[in-house]
Structure 1
Amino acid sequence: MKQKVAVLGAGSWGTALAKVLVENGHEVTIWGNHPEQLAKINQEHINQPYLPNILLPEELVAEADLAKCVQNVDAVLFVVPTKAIRSVAKQLVEVMTSQPVIIHASKGLEQGSHKRLSEVLAEEIPANKRQDIVVLSGPSHAEEVAVKDITTITAASKNEDYARYVQELFMNDYFRVYTNDDVIGVETGAALKNIIALGSGAIHGLGFGDNAKAAIMTRGLAEISRLGVAMGADPLTFIGLSGVGDLIVTCTSEHSRNWRAGDLLGKGHKLEEVLENMGMVVEGVSTTKAAYELSRQLEIEMPITEAIYATLYEGKNVQDVAKNMMLREGKSEKEFSLGGNFLCHNK
C-alpha cells in the first residue's frame, strides 16, 4: 500500500533511505536546512555533498518548510544527528496534522541525559500525537544502499504490528528488513559500535594490522553487550544485525565516518582538526562521552571506551593509550555468558 512519508534529515543516510522509499512506490518528501542543497535535489535530482554521483528519483521532493513536509503523512522518519533529535521533535509536534508512525534511523545517546533516542522522541511527541515509535538500524552504508547493494537491517518495536509496518515500508529485492522486539538492544548496539569504530580506525592509523582489528572488535562487542544488558537489553541482540553486524561494517570500511575519524587520530591529527575536515557529524565522539559517563553510573567496566574517552577528552596520546590497554591486568575471557544469566558486572 502506498504511504506518505516525511524524511527529516537530508544527509547521506536520510537521502539513501528516502530513495529506497520512493523506489518502493511511496510518496516521499525530504526535509533539510540548506535551501541550495534542497533545490539541487528538486531540480537536478542530486545530493552531491552527501551522495556524490548518485541520481535520485525525480519523484523525491525536497522541502525546507517542516509543516509542508509532514502534512497528512502516514510516517515520519528521523535521520538527523543525535544532538538535533529533541529540538526537531519539538518542532514536529507544533506542525503535525496527522498521527503518524514515528521511525528513527539515527545512532547515538543524548548528551547529559544518556537517554536512547526513542526515549527522547517519546518524551517530546505525546502518545496521542503519534502511533508507535520504531527503530530502524543495522549494518548499512548509505553509499552502498544508494547503488542498490544488498543490505539487511532491523526494525525494532515492542509492538510487532508496527515493526512489520516498517518492514513492509522498506523491504525490496536489495534492502531486507527483519523485525525485533528488543528496542533497547538495537539502539544501544547502534550507538555504541561508533565508539569501537573510532578505536578500530585509530588502530589502523597507528599502523597495526588484522590481529589488532580483530581484538578491538571482539572485545568491543563484549563492552557493548555488558552496558546494553545493564540497560535492559536482550544479550542475543548483540550477536545479530544491530550488534555484531553493525560493528563489523562500521569498523572495517572507509565509508564509515567514525572509522575515518579514528584513522586520522591514529595518524596524529588533533580532534578539532579531524572534526572540522570531516564535513559530517561523527556520532562516536559524543557517544563516547555519554557511554563513559553511563558506564561509571552503572558501574560497568568498559576499558576500550575509557581509552577512547581519554584520547578524545583528556588529550592522551593514542599510542600510549593503546600500549596501556595491552598492559592491563590479565583476565579471563569468560566475562559473560549468552545463556540464561548474563554476568555483566564481572571486573
Structure 2
Amino acid sequence: MSILTYVGAGQMASALTYPVIENGHEVRLVGTPLDREVIDELRKSNFHINLKRTLPDTVKYYQAEEVEEALKGADVVLCGVSSFGVDWFAENILPIIPDDVPMIAVTKGMIDQEDGSMITYPHYWESRLPEGKKLSINGIGGPCTSYELADKDNSAVAFCGRDIEILRKIKAMFTAPYYHVSLSTDVIGVECAVALKNAYALGVSLAVGIAEKNEGIGVQHYNSQAALFGQSVKEMKQLLQLVGGGEENIIYGAGDLYVTIFGGRTRKIGTLLGRGMSFDDAMQELAGVTLESIVIATRTAKAVRRLAENGKVDLADFPLLMHVDDIINNGAQVDIPWKAFETEKF
C-alpha cells in the first residue's frame, strides 16, 4: 500500500480518489484555504459539495494548516489546485515536499513570458523550487471530466514527466478498469495541448449561444460548432509547434476540447457570450465559478501577439484565438471571422 497526499480538494483531484482507493492505497485529501467548507462537509458526510458525489469512505481529510501532517510518509503528492492556485502551491507546498517524493498535477495551463514564449506549469514550478531543491514534477492531461470519472465512465489520459520509470510507478497507483493511462516524456507537448483546449472550447461554444440567440434556448446547430472545432484544432496544432511540443499530442488537446464543449464552465461562458451578453455581464452571471478558460485564452493571445511583434508569427494564422481575446479583453461583440478561416492549398 502507498500513501498519496492530494493538495487541493478541487473536483478533478477529488474524483481521482476513486481509482487510487480501489487499488488499495491510502489517500489524504488536503484542502486549500479556499476549500475549508468542502473539507468540513467531507469530514461529516464524505459528500463533496462541488463534485456532488460521495467520496470513498476511507479517504482522510485535512484542512490547509494540517498539510505537513498529511505529507508525513507520503509516497506521491498530487496537486489539485486550479490555475488561480499555482503560485500559492509554489510558495506554500513545493518547499515542504520531500525531495524523494514525486509530484503529479491535474492543473492545466501555461504561463506567458515577456519574449512571447510560454512555459508549462511543471516547468514553472521547477523554476520556483528553493535553491538546491530537486523534485520530480509531473502532469496529467487528456479528455476527462471529473464527474464522469467519479461515475466510472471510461476515460483515457496521459501522465507526462521527465522520468519514465517514475511515471510507470505513479501509473500503477491510478490505473483502473475505467481509467486508462498513457505515458509521455514530452511534457511541453502534453501540457500545452490540454491547456489550450480551455481557450478554444470557449470559442466553439460561441456557436451554441449564437444558435440559441437566433432560434431559441436549446436549439443546436452542429455545422457551425464543427467548423469552429476544426479551426480550433488547426490553431492548437500550430501553437504546439511554436512551443516545441510533438504534434502527436494534439490527440489529447482535441479530445479534451471535445469533452469540454459538451459541458462545464467553459461552455457556459461561451454560450452566454454567443447569445449576445457582454463579457462583463456574463462574468457577473457566473460569479463564483472558476473560469480557467479566461486565464489561458488571455495568456496565449498575449504570447502570440508578442511573437507577432517580433516577427515570429502572423496573427492572421490565429483568427479564432484573436477574436476570443478581443471579446474577453477589448469588449468586442461576437462576430465569428468565418472568411479568415478559408484557405487555398496547392
- 1:281 aligned partner: 290
In structure 1, the partner of 2:253 is: 243
* Higher mean C-alpha displacement, 58-67 vs 122-131: 122-131
Match of 1:19 in 2: 18
Q: Identity of aligned pairs, percent?
A: 24
Which secondary structure state, in structure 2, belongs to the residue aligned with residue 58 of structure 1?
Answer: coil
CA contact (8 A) 1:74 1:100 kept: yes
In the alignment, which residue of structure 1 is the partner of 2:154? 150
> TM-score, normalised to structure 2's length?
0.87
Aligned residue in 1 for 2:330? 314
1:83–1:110 Cα contact (<8 Å) kept: no
Q: SS of 2:51's equivalent?
A: coil
Q: 1:117-128 maps to which residues of 2 (within 5 A)?
A: 117-126=121-130
Cα 1:109–1:152 shift into 2, 3 Å = same
| TM-score after normalising by structure 1 | 0.87
SS across alignment from 2:110:
coil
Q: 1:273 to 1:112 in 2, by over 3 A?
A: farther
Indicate the residue corresponding to 1:344 in structure 2. Answer: none
Amino acid at match of 2:25: H
Aligned to 2:62: 63
The SS at the match of 2:259 is helix
Residue 181 in structure 1 maps to residue 190 in structure 2: no
Moved more, 77-86 or 228-237: 77-86
Check whether the contact 2:279–2:331 (CA below 8 A) recurs between aligned residues: no
SS in 2 for 1:149: coil
Contact 1:230 1:298 in 2 (8 A): no
Does structure 2 retain, via aligned residues, the 8 Å contact 1:71–1:97? no
Q: Counterparts in 2 of 1:220-239, with a 5 A limit? A: 220-238=232-250
* 8 Å contact from structure 1 (residues 85, 120) kept in 2: no
1:292 Cα deviation (Å)? 0.6
The CA distance in 2 between the partners of 1:74 and 1:128, in whole Å, is 21
Within 5 Å, which residues of 2 pair with 1:11-160?
11-32=10-31, 33=33, 34-48=35-49, 50-52=50-52, 54-64=53-63, 65=65, 66-97=67-98, 99-110=100-111, 114-126=118-130, 129-160=133-164
Distance of 1:191 and 1:326 partners within structure 2: 24
**How much is the aligned-residue C-alpha RMSD, in angstroms?**
2.0
Alignment of 1:297 onto 2:285:
no
Unmatched runs of 5 consecutive residues or more in structure 1: 335-347
Take 1:23 and 1:127, find their aligned partners in 2: how far apart are those partners?
38
1:204 to 202, 205, 208: 208
Shift of 1:158: 2.8
More deviation, 164-173/67-76: 67-76
Counterpart residue number, 1:262: 270
How many pairs align?
323
Distance of aligned partners of 1:276 and 1:167 in 2 relative to their CA distance in 1, 3 Å threshold: farther
Q: In structure 2, do the counterparts of structure 1 residues 183 and 274 end up closer, same or farther at CA, with 3 Å as the change threshold? A: same
- Return the letter of the residue paired with 1:124: R
Q: State the shift of 1:112 in Å.
A: 5.8
**Match of 1:339?**
none
Tell me the equivalent position of 1:8.
7
Contact 2:79 2:105 in 1 (8 A): yes
Structure 1 residues 195-226: Cα deviation after superposition (integer angstroms, max 9, x where no partner): 11101111100106111111111111111111
Answer yes or no: is the 8 Å Cα contact 1:116–1:187 preserved in 2: yes
Deviation at 1:164, TM superposition (A): 1.3
The answer on whether the counterparts of 1:108 and 1:284 sit within 8 Å (CA) in structure 2 is no
Supply the distance in 2 between the matched residues of 1:97 and 1:132 (Cα, whole angstroms).
10
Distance 1:160 1:167 in 2: 10
Query: Is residue 201–residue 262 contact of structure 1 (8 Å, CA) maintained in 2?
Result: yes
Distance 1:329 1:180, change over 3 A: closer
Match of 1:161 in 2: 165
- Asked if the contact 2:298–2:325 (Cα under 8 Å) also holds between the matched residues in 1, the reply is yes
